[in-house]
Every structure is written in structure tokens, then in C-alpha cells.
Amino acid sequence: MAKSEELQKRVIKEEEAGDVVQGFTSGFVKKFGLVKLTKIVVGAAKDDGCIKGASWLVANWQIPCAPEVERTLALRHGEGSSSFSSIPRFTSVTPATVAAILIALSGMIKLFKCDMEGPLFFAIGEVKLTRKTASFSSSDPIFSLLCTERTPQAHFPVLFLSVLFMSSKERPTLGGTRIKTRKRNIAAPLDPTAFSDAVVQIYLDNAGDLELIAKNIESSELNFSRYGDTFFEVAFTGGRTQPGTTKPDEGEHHPYAIINSEPTREAILPSVIYIQKILRRRPFLIKNLENVMRRFLQSLELFDENERKKLAIFTALAFSQKLSGLPPETVFHPLLKDNLVGKGLVLTFITDFFKEYLVENSLDDLIAILKRGKMEDNLLDFFPSSKRSAEAFSEHFTNAGLLPLVEYNEKKIFEVKLKEMKSALTTQISDEVDTAEVSETVKHYMKEVKLPDVEVVRLLWDVIMDAVQWSGKNPQQNANAALRQVKTWAELLNTFCTSGKLELELMYKIQIQCYDDTKLMKLFPEIVRSLYELDVLAEDTILHWFRKGTNPKGRQTFVKALEPFVKWLEEAEEED
């Protein structure tokens, strides 16, 4: 039989080609490394068939390549791009593709000249192409496996590689090491009931003696960082409470809780001091105290009247004793729930809180707490919507014996209204509104705010001067603008300066402003003379100020400046 006839022939089918190529490349990388394979792939790319096969291996079987190899393949493929993404990927294995792959494999083995156990091949065989098939033949016993009857596809690559890459060398092993299983964080399950029972037992063992309880808690190994909320539930209610209620939950309870004490300062103060000691040793518990306080205050309707009073007393004493930085917003903001405010529960609670806090603290201290809690200007928010008025505020807290708070609130309202009035009048005067309309605005605010006549006169002078458009550099322009403003609004001043006392107050106001504002320092005598000529200031008022004025601010300077005008008045009086 001729040699050519001895060659076994076989047509490589599409489904087998993938297994052959994958098995070859995977085994090659495993045996000899990726670097050698990539060098061979580049070296084999000398003709069109080899480069197509190499590109197909890298692109479709995802053989990892260094960037320089990818660029080389792309450029040799003739795409004119240095990016490997330009290599076309074959979506199916065609006969031409099979031929190109086999040519590439042949080129690899030809160029692969290193020590390799087993046969070293310089040629695989012949590849023959037809329109629909690609066949190859080989005389080598290794590759004759490809020409035998079809082996099941799953075992074909393994059989092929086991023959091609068999080795007698023993694989190296790493000795003297122990493989350790990675440790994982094992989270213990939550068990607040057991913690609660342990704390309750400490209370019971010490018969409610808070000094001994604090010492035992300090020496215990309880996990307060995990069950801080539960601890304060035990301190306030005697045990765990059911979610959303104040009803006791399962577990032990003790009778020495804050909620079970008498609603007096003397009975609750020891509990505040006890909690203060706990917080000094464990400052991180302050957040848990805030959580429990917030939850209780948002659930005031679940407590009876006596229990709400105890909570109010505890809260007041906590601020009075400066309980480890308990923030006021923790107390005030949870109270502003519509249903609690509407039922009047919040007003009763906050009244008890104010009364207890003011026993040992001043009104200024209380206002400071309200400011920190951002409630200083919103005290009416504690009242039901039907009672949110200044009159209702004064009546309620007067009946509760909190007269200083009533006076403070009235002063606050007065300052707010005064500011509103000043802003409105300044706008009207700047817009040069009719004098009669401005007078009506003044009378409206006088009635609403109950503003004294003296304050009205002072306020009018301020808004008149505030509306002047001052020049930055020209003193003469400033003087002319000020005098023009005085003459324009003299009628308004005359309307409210209805007595010698009010005229004298106006002169004192002008004196102070001219002394404080350098732009007006030299205008004092001219302003007084203009107001005299416009019948705002009477002769007797000017003479009284000149002879017996009591305000010392710049008095000597202004008396000297006004002396010629006063001398003229006196001479005119003698002539009359």
C-alpha cells in the first residue's frame, strides 16, 4: 500500500473542530505557560491562513494576550489599527476556518523548539479544502487519533491532550504548610429578653438601692453597646415594653422604675443622678437614652396623667442636672405631633416641664434651652390650633404661675411687631406715600401692639432718617438730603408730637442720632430750627432742653451750636 494510501483521512466536522482547538490551547497554556503560547501565536502569523487561525484562537476562545501581542495580531491582519478589537470574530466554524486553525497549529509546533517530553512535531499533515469541507491527513500516530472513528465529544480533548502532553516528571508539591479555613464573623443572635432579665435581677438583688445597682452594673459583663435601649426601658418602666405600647413584654420586671415612683422632685432626682453615673462610665449610651426618650414622648397618650407628669419632671431634672449633653431637640421636636398637640397633652407636659425647671434655674436658662431646641419663637406650637393666640398664652401660663414667662413672651411679641411696623413705615416713606396713609398705618400698629406714644415718636424719627438716600462722599449733599426729609415729613411728626413731653423726647432722639452719626453732627441746630419753623417743636420745649436738658451725649457741643438760635428766641420773647 502506498504511503499516501496508508494515510488515514477524515473530514473534520464543525462540532469537533471546537473541541480540538480548545483542548489544544488549554493544555498548551497549562503545560508551557501563556508567554510561550503568545510568542508562538505571533510567530506563526506569517501568512494569511496562520494569522486567521491565530486571530480566531485569541478572539473566539478568549486566550489572554499581552497588549503588544494584540496590537501585533491586529496590524498583521491588515486592519490598520493597533486595537485587538478590530480582529473579526468568527460566529461559526466553517470549513475554511477549520483549515486556518489547523495551519496555525502547524505553524505553532514548527516554531516551538524547546524541550518537550514526547514527540516534537515539525509538521502535522496536509490540509485539503473543498467548498463545503476541510480535510487533513497525517502519518503521525499521535494525530492519527483525529482520523479514527469519532470519539464522544466530551472526551475528545482529554484523550488528545493526554497523548500529546504526557510527562514522566512528578509535579512539585508545597510541603510544610497547613491549609487553614478562613474564619468568618459569627454574629450572635439578638436576645434582649435575657439582657433585660439580667438587669432586672440586679435591681431585685439590691432592693432598688441605686448606689449598689450602679456598682453592680459597672462590674457586670452585660453587652450595653448592643442592648442600650433595653437598659433604659428597664430603668424607666421596670422591664421590656411591647413595641408601640407601654405594656410590659415577656420577661422579668422590677418595682423600682422611674414610672413607679412618686410624681415629686425628691422621688425622681435620685434616678436622674443614677443615670448620670451610668452615662459618665458609658458615654455611648446617651444615644440610647435619646432613642427611648423620643419614643416615650411620641407616645404620651399611652401614659396616664400621673405618668406623664413623672416624665415631665424627669425631663426637667435631666436638663437641670445637665445630663451628659442631652440635646433639647430630642425633647421638644417629638412633642410636635398633631394628635398629641390637639388633645392638649403636649401643653400639659410642657407646663409641668417649665414649672419644674424654673424651681432652681432662671428664665434665661430656660430661654437658652428653648433656643437650642429651636423653639424660642414657636412656643405657640405647643398649644392646640384653636388656642394659638397671645391672649391664650398669657392666660394659660399666668394661671400656671409662670408670670415671668408671660412677660418674656409679651416683650418678644412687642419686639416682633415693632420690627414689622418699622419695616412697613420705612417702605411707605421711601415710596413717598401720602402723609395721611402713613398716619393710619402708625395708628393701626399703635392699637395692635399697644405702643406707647414716646416709642412712636422715636420710631418715626428713625424711619424718616432711614429713608434718606445718603451720598457717600459729599457732606453738603447729605446735609441737604436730611433737611429736605425733615421738611417733607414734619407734618407726620407734628401729628404725633401732641405734648411738650413728646416734643422733648423728639429733641433727645435727634440729639442722640446727631451724636452717633457723624453725617448729622453739624446739622443739629439746623434740624431744630426747621422743626421750630414747621410748628413741630415749640419755643418752650427748645428753651427747656437748652437750659435743663438731661441727656449728656454731645450736650456741650450741641448747646454751643444752638446758642445763637436760642439767643434769638430769647430776644424775640423779650420784644413780645
- Residues in the chain with pLDDT < 50? 1-18, 42, 44-50, 61-66, 68-70, 72-73, 75-100, 102-103, 106-136, 138, 140-169
Show the cell assigned to 499: 405734648
Residues in the chain, total:
576
The DSSP call for residue 380 is G
Q: What is the DSSP letter of 386?
A: G
Cα 407–408–413 angle (5° rounding)?
95
Helix, strand, coil shares of the chain, percent, nearest 5, are 65, 5, 35
Cα–Cα nearest to 44, from 30, 28, 31: 28
Q: Cell 398716619: give the residue.
A: 439
Which CATH architecture best describes the domain 455-575?
A: Alpha Horseshoe (1.25)
Q: How far is 308 from 347, CA to CA, in rounded Å?
A: 11
Burial class for 363, CB neighbours closer than 10 Å (0-12, 13-18, 19+): middle
Quickly tell me which residue has 510567530 as its cell: 43
Cell numbers standing for residue 296: 416615650
Burial class (CB in 10 A: 0-12, 13-18, 19+), 458: middle
Q: Taken in order 147, 151, 153, 156, is the CA torsion positive or negative?
A: negative
Q: What is the pLDDT of residue 202?
A: 92
Of 398, 216, 246, 382, residue with least CA distance to 308: 246
Residue 140's φ and ψ, nearest 5 degrees, are: -80, 135
Structure pTM?
A: 0.58
Q: How far apart are CA 153 and CA 369, in angstroms?
A: 83
- The Cα-based distances of 343 to 348, 388, 512 in angstroms read 10, 14, 52
